[in-house]
A and B are shown apart, each in its own frame.
Chain A
Amino acid sequence: EAGVTQFPSHSVIEKGQTVTLRCDPISGHDNLYWYRRVMGKEIKFLLHFVKESKQDESGMPNNRFLAERTGGTYSTLKVQPAELEDSGVYFCASSQLDRYEQYFGPGTRLTVT
């Protein structure tokens, strides 16, 4: 069974540019989560989809971040315009409905210069 995949693995962009990160959850997992780890800090929750609906987006830092999950399959996280403080590793995770365990992808390392 394929795990959670994320693309790209690394992205280097300039301040003010736009970047879109993609996450493909494990097939059949209705829950999809985005997390972020800024250097030296904890992994922080960003938002949670149940199928295509946003269940909780309380962790989204500001309106420069837009997450979508059209059709309830893969998800994208767009940062527009990117700022220096957006640099970090963005993790995606998925889980089955009413199951406790979240499965994480390898992350996308975003560097904003």
Chain B
Amino acid sequence: ELKVEQNPLFLSMQEGKNYTIYCNYSTTSDRLYWYRQDPGKSLESLFVLLSNGAVKQEGRLMASLDTKARLSTLHITAAVHDLSATYFCAVDPLTQGGSEKLVFGKGTKLTVNP
């Protein structure tokens, strides 16, 4: 059974600092997703990583995927208060065709303090 572990689960950081959220998963997969959720809102898709070595960047966030290590990272650069949210990684165990069920980590609640 595929398991996905995120750490840390809670992260409090100062504005302007850098930090990394880690996502480990237990079985082979080359499709990994990062979502952001604000309280009471939908899960917003941030990144879809589809191959080993994939790196994507959007603003102050950068995600990478190492399928050999079964590890994805979400790096935050020079954090700002607006990045405060809960971040989820999710792995799709399907290796062909379209998306099917996603297996989620527990989420990382990020608080950026002024």
Chain A residues at the B interface, C-beta cutoff of 8 Å: 3-4, 31, 33, 35, 41-45, 48, 55-56, 58-59, 91, 93, 95-107
Give the shortest distance, in Å, between A69 (CB) and chain B (any CB): 16
Max chain B C-beta neighbours (<10 A), residue from A4, A43, A104: A43
In the complex, which of the residues A45, A58, A100, A107 contacts B98, with contact meaning CB atoms closer than 8 Å?
Answer: A100
Contact check, A100 vs B31: say whether CB atoms are below 8 A apart.
Answer: yes
The 0/1 profile, CB within 8 Å of A marked 1, for residues 76-114 of chain B is 000000000000101010000111111111110000000
Contact check, A45 vs B102: say whether CB atoms are below 8 A apart.
Answer: yes
* A residues in contact with B33, CB < 8 Å: 101-102
Q: Please measure, in the bound complex, the distance between the C-alpha atom of A46 and the C-alpha atom of B106, giving whole angstroms.
A: 16
Quick check: is B41 within 8 A (CB to CB) of the other chain?
Answer: yes
Q: Please measure, in the bound complex, the distance between the C-alpha atom of A106 and the C-alpha atom of B42, giving whole angstroms.
A: 4
> Chain B, interface size: which category?
20 to 34
Which 4 A-B pairs give the minimum distances between C-beta atoms?
A: A45-B101, A104-B43, A98-B98, A43-B104
Max chain B C-beta neighbours (<10 A), residue from A44, A104, A106: A104
Contact check, B105 vs A3: say whether CB atoms are below 8 A apart.
Answer: no
Chain B residues at the A interface, C-beta cutoff of 8 Å: 4, 31, 33, 35, 40-45, 48, 50, 88, 90, 92, 97-107
In the complex, which of the residues B4, B31, B98, B102 contacts A96, with contact meaning CB atoms closer than 8 Å?
Answer: B98
Given contacts A43-B88, A100-B31, contact A91 B43 (CB under 8 A): yes
Contact check, B99 vs A95: say whether CB atoms are below 8 A apart.
Answer: yes
Given contacts A100-B31, A101-B48, contact A106 B98 (CB under 8 A): no
Given contacts A106-B40, A106-B42, contact A42 B102 (CB under 8 A): no
Give the shortest distance, in Å, between B68 (CB) and chain A (any CB): 21
Contact check, B50 vs A45: say whether CB atoms are below 8 A apart.
Answer: no
Contact check, A103 vs B97: say whether CB atoms are below 8 A apart.
Answer: no
Contact check, A44 vs B35: say whether CB atoms are below 8 A apart.
Answer: no
* B residues in contact with A43, CB < 8 Å: 88, 90, 102, 104, 107
Give the shortest distance, in Å, between A79 (CB) and chain B (any CB): 20
Q: Please measure, in the bound complex, the distance between the C-alpha atom of A96 and the C-alpha atom of B99, giving whole angstroms.
A: 9
Residue of B nearest to A47 (CB): B101
